[in-house]
Amino acid sequence: MERGLPHGRPDPGAVTRLAPDNAARFILDNTALMAPPHVPEIVLHLADEAHELWLKTEDELAEIGLPPPFWAFAWAGGQGLARHILDNPALVRGKRVLDFASGSGLVAIAAAKAGAAGVVAADIDPFCATAIALNLGANGTEAQFLGTDCIGTDDGWDVVLAGDVFYDKGMADRLMPWFHALKARGADILVGDPGRSYLPRAGLASLGVYEVPVTRALEDAEVKRTTVWRLS
């Protein structure tokens, strides 16, 4: 499946409604601090089979007030992009970086570790603010969080990083004009993608290919061939 979530048995227990201001306890109780397999230098609060969050369906998550927790999983596109940034730190060193659709903050953390002058982690899921803050702290790194829809905006970023964002046609149709506008004024646009259906190949140059281990509960294979692309 693409950008889906695990499905499992219903939880008959009492329903507790969540909100961004009480998210920290929920995240800590439903994740473990672990290193994504392709980026062992970084640790994240992630869900795995040992946690109740892994078993909940999207309907159950909605019942407790939680949007699909993309922040709880290290997606292949983000892992590949983070790996590329850590292996090629000159791409971001001394530069202002936007990590678009940041999720767990994995790519933002990689940029900070690689020496970016400043990093903005952007995601419209309000729970990401807490998840990213926890993950930044676990790695001794800093970034600003931007919780508004930044598509179409331009804050002068030198580099825009986007991991695993082409899972939906509507999103792809919105992203590409924005990316092209940022590129036209001089920004470097780097995308990590594991072969999502709506990745527009025209105008993209491959910078590297990575074989990223994933779980079949989230993806359609145990290893996703992930390419880091530059908008040319």
| Res 155: pLDDT | 98
User: Which of 152, 203, 200, 201 is CA-nearest to residue 174?
Assistant: 152
Residue 118 dihedral angles phi and psi, to the nearest 5°: -165, 145
Which pairs count as long-range contacts for 175-181, CB under 8 Å and 24+ apart, including other chains? 175/151, 176/200, 178/151, 178/152, 179/231, 180/231, 181/154
| Res 57: pLDDT | 61
What is the CB neighbour count within 10 angstroms for residue 192? 30
| Res 74: pLDDT | 93
| Res 196: pLDDT | 92
Query: CA-CA distance, 42 to 32, in Å (whole number)?
Result: 13
Question: What residues does each domain of the chain span?
Answer: 20-72, 76-231
3-state secondary structure of 132: helix
Burial class from Cβ neighbours inside 10 Å (0-12, 13-18, 19+) for residue 182 reads: buried
* 76-231, CATH topology level: Rossmann fold (3.40.50)
Q: Contact, 170 vs 111, CB < 8 A? A: no
> Which structure tokens are listed for 156?
């002068």
3-state secondary structure of 130: helix
- pLDDT tens over the chain, length 232 residues: 344 433 333 333 444 566 767 789 889 988 999 999 999 999 999 987 645 665 566 667 667 677 778 899 999 999 999 999 999 999 999 999 999 999 999 999 999 999 999 999 999 999 999 999 999 999 999 999 999 999 999 999 999 999 999 989 999 999 999 999 999 999 999 999 999 999 998 999 999 999 998 876 666 678 889 999 999 9
| Res 157: pLDDT | 98
What's the whole-model pTM score? 0.87
Query: CA-CA distance, 227 to 214, in Å (whole number)?
Result: 15
| Res 15: pLDDT | 42
Burial class from Cβ neighbours inside 10 Å (0-12, 13-18, 19+) for residue 173 reads: exposed
